[in-house]
Chain A
Amino acid sequence: MNDRSAGGRRRRSSSILQVYHEPPETLEQMSDQAVVPNMNANWTNQKGAWTIHIVIIAALKILYDVIPGSSQEASWTLTNMTYMVGSYIMFHYVRGIPFDFNGGAFDNLNMWEQIDNGAQYTPTKKFLLSVPIVLFLISTHYTHYDSTYFVINFLATLAVVIPKLPFSHRMRFSFFSDIPEEE
Chain B
Amino acid sequence: MDFDMLQARLGEIARATSSNFQKLPGSAMIVRYIQSSYQNDPVRSAIELVLVLFFIRYLMSPSYSTHKQNFVKLQEGEIEELIDEWTPEPIVADRTAVEEIENERLPVIVGPTGPKVKLSNGRTAFNLASYNFYNFNSNEQIKEKAIQTLRTYGVGPCGPPQFYGTQDVHEKAESDIASYLGTEGCILYAQTFSTATSVIPTFCKRRDVIIADAAVNYSIRKGLEISRSNVRWFKHGDFNDLERVLKAVANEQAKSGKLTRRFVVTEGFFEITGDVTDLPRLVELKEKYKIRIILDETWSFGVLGRTGRGLTEAQNVDPQQVDMIIGSLAGPLCAGGGFCAGSKDVIEHQRITSSAYTFSAALPAMLAMTTSESLKLLQSNPDILVQCRESIRALRAQLDPRSDWVVCTSSVDNPILLLVIKPEVVNARRLTADDQEKILMECVEESLANGVMITRLKTRPYANAIAANDWTLQPALKICVTSALSKKDIEKAGITIRHAITKIMTKRSNKAI
Contacts and interface: CB of A to CB of B under 8 A. Distances in A.
A154 interface: yes
B229 A1 contact: yes
Interface stretch (A9-17, A58-66, A116-124): A116-124
Contact of B207 (A24, A123, A147, A183): A183
Given A147-B44, A169-B66, A121 B202 contact: no
A77 interface: no
Residue among A24, A104, A129, A140 with most chain B CB within 10 A: A104
Contact of A118 (B65, B207, B230): B65
Interface string B45-72: 0011001100100110111111110000
B33 interface: yes
Contacts of B55: 129-130, 133
A103 B224 CA distance: 12
B152 interface: no
Interface residues of A, number: 38
B338 interface: no
A119 B36 CA distance: 38
A118 B61 contact: no
Interface in A105-158: 105, 107, 116-123, 126, 129-130, 133, 136-137, 140-141, 145, 147, 150, 154, 157
Interface in B195-252: 201-202, 205-208, 226-231
Contacts of B230: 1, 183
Contacts of B44: 145, 147, 150
A141 B37 CA distance: 7
B66 A103 contact: no
B207 A180 contact: no
Contacts of B104: none
Contacts of B105: none
Contact of A180 (B37, B61, B229, B256): B256
A63 to B, nearest CB: 25
Contact of A100 (B47, B51, B258, B353): B353
B271 to A, nearest CB: 23
B58 A104 contact: no
A105 B206 CA distance: 7
Interface string A157-169: 1000000001001
Given A103-B205, A119-B66, A140-B48, A130 B37 contact: no
Contacts of A145: 36-37, 39, 41, 44
Given A104-B207, A105-B206, A145-B41, A121 B63 contact: yes
A179 B47 CA distance: 35
A103 B63 contact: no
A104 B258 contact: no
B12 to A, nearest CB: 34
Contacts of A133: 51-52, 55
A105 B227 CA distance: 11
B256 to A, nearest CB: 7
A121 to B, nearest CB: 4
Interface string B125-137: 0000000000000
A130 B55 CA distance: 7
B228 A28 contact: yes
A104 B204 CA distance: 9
A97 to B, nearest CB: 10
Contacts of B41: 145, 147
Contacts of B205: 100, 102-104, 107
Contacts of A181: 256
A101 B353 contact: yes
A120 B67 contact: no
A103 B201 contact: yes
A103 B228 contact: yes
Contacts of A120: 61, 63-64, 66
A100 B202 contact: yes
A73 interface: no
Interface in A2-41: 3, 24, 28, 32
Nearest to B353: A100
B65 to A, nearest CB: 5
A80 to B, nearest CB: 14
A116 B39 CA distance: 41
Given A100-B202, A130-B55, A169-B66, A154 B47 contact: yes
A121 B33 contact: no
A1 B206 CA distance: 8
Nearest to A154: B47
A78 B438 CA distance: 80
A125 B502 CA distance: 77
Contacts of B201: 103
A119 B63 contact: yes
Contact of A119 (B51, B59, B64): B64
A163 to B, nearest CB: 14
Q: Which 5 A-B pairs have the closest CB atoms?
A: A104-B206, A104-B205, A121-B63, A118-B66, A121-B61
Interface of A: 1, 3, 24, 28, 32, 100-105, 107, 116-123, 126, 129-130, 133, 136-137, 140-141, 145, 147, 150, 154, 157, 166, 169, 180-181, 183
Given A137-B48, A157-B51, 19 more contacts: A1-B229, A3-B206, A102-B205, A118-B65, A118-B66, A118-B67, A119-B63, A120-B61, A121-B61, A121-B62, A133-B55, A137-B51, A140-B48, A145-B36, A147-B44, A166-B66, A169-B66, A180-B256, A183-B207
Interface of B: 33, 36-37, 39, 41, 44, 47-48, 51-52, 55, 58-59, 61-68, 201-202, 205-208, 226-231, 256, 258, 353
15 contacts: A24-B68, A100-B353, A104-B206, A107-B205, A117-B67, A119-B66, A120-B64, A121-B61, A121-B64, A126-B58, A126-B59, A129-B58, A137-B48, A145-B36, A180-B256
